[in-house]
Amino acid sequence: MTCEAVMILEIPELLNAQEVAYLRQTAREGKFADGALTARNLPKGYKENLQLQPTQKQANEINAIVRRALARNERVGDYVMVRDTSLPMISKYEPGMHYSRHVDNVLIGWPNPIRTDMSMTIFMHEPDTYDGGELEFDSDLGLKTYKLASGGAVIYPTTHYHRVTPVTRGERLAVVVWIQSFIADPTQRRIVGDLRHLASEFAGKPELKSEHDMLLRSALDLMRMWVQN
């Protein structure tokens, strides 16, 4: 896991090989629809991809896989603090497809929407099986580009401008999820995440017990101030 100054979290192997295999098979067997249908407020040609139309059983299983993966990952616990998630969406990009620079909607998942504090892309194919399809971000530090191994995830504030570059060979398959955090403010979330991460680094080291306890107490005190139930 790496954490950029702009709070983009890179988490290798968020999904294990068995979970990736199930999602790939579901995509192979499923029906896809034009992704532009979910972006009616964007100009024509701005979003060109395909989105899986899962059965209810498939949707439930995909959702369960993603939720389990988020719950078991320590860095997600430290830095994301998941309160709720949207239903995962499997997107597919074939040659010529792309998604131009944009920010995601603030509410997703009608009729019971969640506030979108963070967005997540889980890569489902190995990088050498397709060309293009990079996930790109504009930031104060310049352009950031991600194209992870299968099962790897990128989690980022939903307010970040981002794009998917055109695919020129092969197929880009990804799972996209939106996350509502217990802490809405990204700066507050980062502060708590840093404290919790440092506390976990000190855990199990008797000579650093007082430092561990102080860091953890500070993180918990800030959470009591900032958590939104």
User: Cβ neighbours of residue 150 under 8 Å, at least 6 residues apart?
Assistant: 15, 20, 123, 124, 125, 126
Cα 71 from Cα 64, distance rounded (Å): 10
Angstrom distances, CA of residue 197 to CA of 10, 68, 123, 202: 15, 20, 25, 9
What is the phi/psi pair of residue 177, to 5°? -140, 145
Residue corresponding to tokens 């506030």: 115
Cα 122 from Cα 218, distance rounded (Å): 32
Report the chain's C-alpha Rg in angstroms. 18
pLDDT per residue rounded down to tens, the chain (229 residues): 444 445 899 999 999 999 999 999 999 999 999 888 877 677 778 899 999 999 999 999 999 999 999 999 999 999 999 999 999 999 999 999 999 999 999 999 888 899 999 999 999 999 999 999 999 998 777 889 999 999 999 999 999 999 999 999 999 999 999 999 999 999 999 999 999 999 999 988 989 899 999 999 999 999 999 998 7
Cα 23 from Cα 10, distance rounded (Å): 20
pTM: 0.92
Q: Which two tokens stand for residue 42?
A: 């964007």
Judge whether 46 and 39 are in contact, CB under 8 Å.
yes
pLDDT recorded at residue 139: 74
pLDDT recorded at residue 3: 42
Task: Choose among 102, 165, 91: nearest CA to 134.
Answer: 165
User: Cβ neighbours of residue 214 under 8 Å, at least 6 residues apart?
Assistant: none
Q: Which two tokens stand for residue 78?
A: 């430290």
- Cis amide bond preceding 95, omega within 30: no
Residue 139 neighbours by CB distance under 10 Å: 16
Residue corresponding to tokens 């959470």: 223
pLDDT recorded at residue 9: 95
Judge whether 215 and 209 are in contact, CB under 8 Å.
no
Q: Give the HSE-up count for residue 146: Cα atoms under 13 Å, Cβ half-sphere.
A: 28
Q: What single-letter amino acid sits at 180?
A: Q
